[in-house]
Homo-oligomer: A and B are copies of this chain.
Amino acid sequence: MAIQLIECTPCFSEGRRHDVIDAILNPFRTTPGCHLLDHRSDGEENHLTISLAGRPGPVQEALMAAARIALETIDMNAYTGLHLGIGAVDMIPFAPVTNISMEACTTLARDFGRRLFHETEIPVYFFGEAAIRHERRCPADLRRGGYDLLKIEASAPKRRPDIGEPRLHPTAGATAVGVGKRPLYFHVNLRTADIAVAVKIAEAVTVHAGGPCHVKANARAIEDRDMTQIRFTILDPAVVPLYRILEMVRMEARGWGVEVALTDIPGMVSAGAFIQSAAYYLQAAGFHLDQVTELRLLAAMGDDT
């Protein structure tokens, strides 16, 4: 029987204390059937983002173990950092990889949210496909203002948790649990040191200036290299493929006589995000992901392998 595989990219409000980060990562490293793919922590942001994949059961077991460690080690009242998280276990987004439907992922997220509250008393907000309230579909909306604001507002009807009493956990805050792909990060380096030009180009490739939805961008200088960089966050890479972003940048940059120097894709990406761009540039419009040996094999692998 084919194995169900999911991806999960939880984040935690701890980017500085290496012993705590290590303790949180440990269940993901040691639970058979749960695979730790990547993790990034940032001291200034004071934030830890993890990429996991594996079977639903083991991934959830490891998440519960990590949540218990975060509950014991992170006090949101003592939190200092740029990232506006709402809790020690800030966010848990599940996404399907293979042999599992979006509906099954939603059920899984809802069940996990209930279990998280039951075992830790951390209240839960549901987002994405798993949202119960429509206005909570976007995790940025429900996490607006971060822990400090939510602590005050959690008792108001509009902001009360989906699971739990209308207040936050005294030290661990709340957790957003839902269904959603990890955003894709795409950095484009421009052969211009003029930050004003980079800002104009960045703006043109976001929804503010007629560009695609689901894309955020900001421009910054790369001072030691006489260049600028636009950092894109693509919230839904299935809807906005990478090639479309890059070609829009090239189009806008031509108007300023500027060229793209290089790009950078940090972290994990799904095969689909890359392959749809390859098909575009190769003009192979009829190409299908089923033609990729490794993807077929991953989907076909089961208990007998």
Q: Which residues of A contact B (CB under 8 A)?
A: 3, 5, 7, 32-33, 35, 37, 51, 53-55, 97-98, 242-243, 246, 260-265, 267-271, 274-275, 277-279, 281-287, 291-298, 300-301, 303-305
Oligomeric state, in number of copies?
A: 2
Q: Among B54, B264, B267, which residue has its beta carbon within 8 angstroms of that of A286? A: B264
- A35 with B278, Cβ < 8 A, contacts A270-B292, A293-B97 known: no
Q: Among B35, B243, B282, B301, which residue has its beta carbon within 8 angstroms of that of A263? A: B282
Contact B3 A305 (CB under 8 A): yes
New contact pairs (6) apart from A267-B291, A278-B278, CB-CB < 8 Å: A35-B300, A54-B305, A262-B283, A271-B271, A275-B275, A303-B305
Shortest beta-carbon distance from A20 to chain B in Å: 25
Shortest beta-carbon distance from A192 to chain B in Å: 16
Chain B residue numbers with a CB within 8 Å of A246 are: 282-283
Q: List 17 A-B contacts (CB under 8 A).
A: A32-B304, A35-B297, A35-B301, A37-B293, A37-B296, A54-B300, A54-B305, A97-B293, A97-B297, A98-B294, A265-B282, A265-B284, A270-B292, A271-B292, A274-B275, A274-B278, A297-B298
Shortest beta-carbon distance from A179 to chain B in Å: 16
Bound: A291/B305 CA distance, A:
24
Determine the residue in chain B with the shortest Cβ distance to A245.
B282
Contact A269 B292 (CB under 8 A): yes
Determine the residue in chain B with the shortest Cβ distance to A285.
B262
Contact A7 B293 (CB under 8 A): yes
Determine the residue in chain B with the shortest Cβ distance to A281.
B281
Determine the residue in chain B with the shortest Cβ distance to A268.
B293
Shortest beta-carbon distance from A253 to chain B in Å: 12
Chain B residue numbers with a CB within 8 Å of A98 are: 294
Chain B residue numbers with a CB within 8 Å of A287 are: 265
Determine the residue in chain B with the shortest Cβ distance to A37.
B296
Bound: A291/B243 CA distance, A:
18
Q: Among B33, B263, B297, which residue has its beta carbon within 8 angstroms of that of A53? A: B297
Contact B263 A284 (CB under 8 A): yes
Chain B residue numbers with a CB within 8 Å of A303 are: 305
